[in-house]
Each structure stands twice: as structure tokens, then as C-alpha cells.
């Protein structure tokens, strides 16, 4: 039930064509009817498709997690898949520094509707660019992680054609201390060129003992 609530809160719409696929109109996989899965109007593609198994729809976990911004950790010893949905907030700014007094702290609204009082100076928050080359900072706040596990993160910027134009430097694994569920830091992004107009995507990714998975996306309008 908790996962369903999270999905609704994120405004994700998933369509499962279970009844229609029972007739095999999408083909068959290993003798089972293939189910077409749509997330926000976009079909989920995977090497192993979703299938209708005795009236129930079975979904490829990793591909669904990627589309719903979940992180998946696979334990090969116990054959256990652990799914984590972290909360990520990201603010882009010209500069970032310590506030000299509480009066200089900034009250902001994050992507989840929460009002935050930031005890640092954030200069000129923005999410729009004109074509050109820029250097700027990303203020990243991550919570909802599990203590005692090691996480590696990175940030990608992808243009409207799907080409990756920026990848953040490789980070060392961060072992989440007991009693702690998140971290925050500022990433300096240098000399990124927005060569053409369109909608670019910033993809914040986490790796939990395996491959990177996108757990947050921020859209950038380039005019």
C-alpha cells in the first residue's frame, strides 16, 4: 500500500493492458501473452516484457523501477530485490555559500510542496537557459535512504535528442551512518554547453551495489 501511495503522490499514471493482452494481441513470450505497459503515455521497453500470468500481470522490476524513479538492489545470495524510493530535491543557482545570520536564510518551496528554510545563501535560483555555455551549482538534498548501506551518486544532463552532454565526476561510495537517512551537498557544474533549444533533462542517479538507476529528473527549458 505504501508504494501505491508514493506512486499516486508523484502523479504517475501506469496503464496495464492486461485484459486485451490475454488474447495475445501484443504477441507471446514463453507462451504467455505480452502486456503493453505505459507510464505517463510512454511505453516501457525491456528485453523481458511484461506478461499476463494466469490473470495477473508480471512486470520487469528493473525497467519499471527506472521509469518510476526507484532504486533497486539485488542480493544474489538471498535472491532478494530491495526497492527504495528516495526523496530528492534539486535547486540550480549561480552561487552557494554560508549565511552570515538567520535573517539571510532563504525560505523556499521544494519539489514535494514542502517549505524549507535553507541556512545558506543561494543566489539566483533558476531552471531556464538560453543556448550557450554555462557554469553553475546544483544544490542536492537526498532523503529516504537506508542507513548502513553504501551509495554512489552521479548527475547526468541529457539533451532533447537523448544525448548525454554532461556527467558529474566519479564519487567514492558513501556509507550511510546508522540513524541517518540522507545527505545534502552542492555540486559545481562546469562548462556545460546547451547547443540547441529544447527540453533538457537532469538525471540524478544512485547506485546501490550495482548499476546506476535514475531516481530523480529535473527538466530544463533552453530557449
Cα torsion 61, 67, 70, 75 to 10°: value is 30
DSSP 4: H
Name beta bridge partners: 69: none
Report pTM: 0.70
Averaged in consecutive runs of 10 residues, what is the pLDDT profile of the chain (223 residues)? 34 44 76 87 85 87 77 82 86 72 64 59 76 92 92 96 96 91 91 96 90 92 94
Domain limit, last residue, from 68, 97, 118: 68
- Say what the pLDDT of residue 111 is: 59
Q: Are residues 91 and 63 in the same domain?
A: no
Give how many domains the chain has, as a whole number.
2
Query: Do β-strands 37-39 and 14-16 pair in parallel, antiparallel, or remain unpaired?
Result: antiparallel
- Say what the pLDDT of residue 109 is: 66
Q: Are residues 59 and 91 in the same domain?
A: no
Q: Are residues 92 and 50 in the same domain?
A: no
Residue 74 lies in a domain: no
Which three three-digit cell numbers place residue 147? 542507513
Q: Are residues 110 and 197 in the same domain?
A: yes
What is the span of the domain harbouring residue 146?
Answer: 87-222
Name beta bridge partners: 167: 156
Amino acid at each position: 500500500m505504501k508504494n501505491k501511495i508514493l506512486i499516486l503522490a508523484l502523479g504517475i499514471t501506469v496503464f496495464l493492458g492486461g485484459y486485451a493482452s490475454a488474447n495475445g494481441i501484443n504477441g507471446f513470450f514463453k507462451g504467455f501473452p505480452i502486456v503493453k505497459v505505459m507510464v505517463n503515455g510512454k511505453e516501457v521497453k525491456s528485453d523481458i516484457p511484461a506478461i499476463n500470468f494466469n490473470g495477473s500481470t508480471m512486470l520487469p522490476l528493473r525497467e519499471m523501477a527506472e521509469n518510476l524513479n526507484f532504486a533497486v538492489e539485488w542480493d544474489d545470495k538471498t535472491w532478494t530485490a530491495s526497492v527504495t524510493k528516495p526523496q530528492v530535491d534539486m535547486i540550480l543557482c549561480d552561487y552557494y555559500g554560508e549565511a552570515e545570520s538567520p535573517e539571510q536564510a532563504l525560505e523556499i518551496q521544494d519539489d514535494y510542496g514542502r517549505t524549507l528554510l535553507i541556512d545558506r545563501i543561494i543566489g539566483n535560483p533558476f531552471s531556464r537557459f538560453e543556448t550557450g555555455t554555462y557554469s553553475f551549482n546544483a544544490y542536492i538534498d537526498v532523503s529516504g535512504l537506508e542507513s548502513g548501506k553504501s551509495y554512489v551518486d552521479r548527475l547526468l544532463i541529457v539533451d532533447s535528442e537523448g544525448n548525454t552532454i554532461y556527467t558529474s565526476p566519479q564519487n567514492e561510495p558513501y556509507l550511510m551512518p546508522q540513524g541517518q537517512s540522507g545527505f545534502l551537498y552542492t555540486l559545481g557544474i562546469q562548462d556545460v554547453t546547451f547547443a540547441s533549444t529544447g527540453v533538457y533533462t537532469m538525471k540524478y542517479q544512485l547506485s546501490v551495489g550495482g548499476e546506476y538507476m535514475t531516481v530523480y529528473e529535473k527538466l530544463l527549458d533552453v530557449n
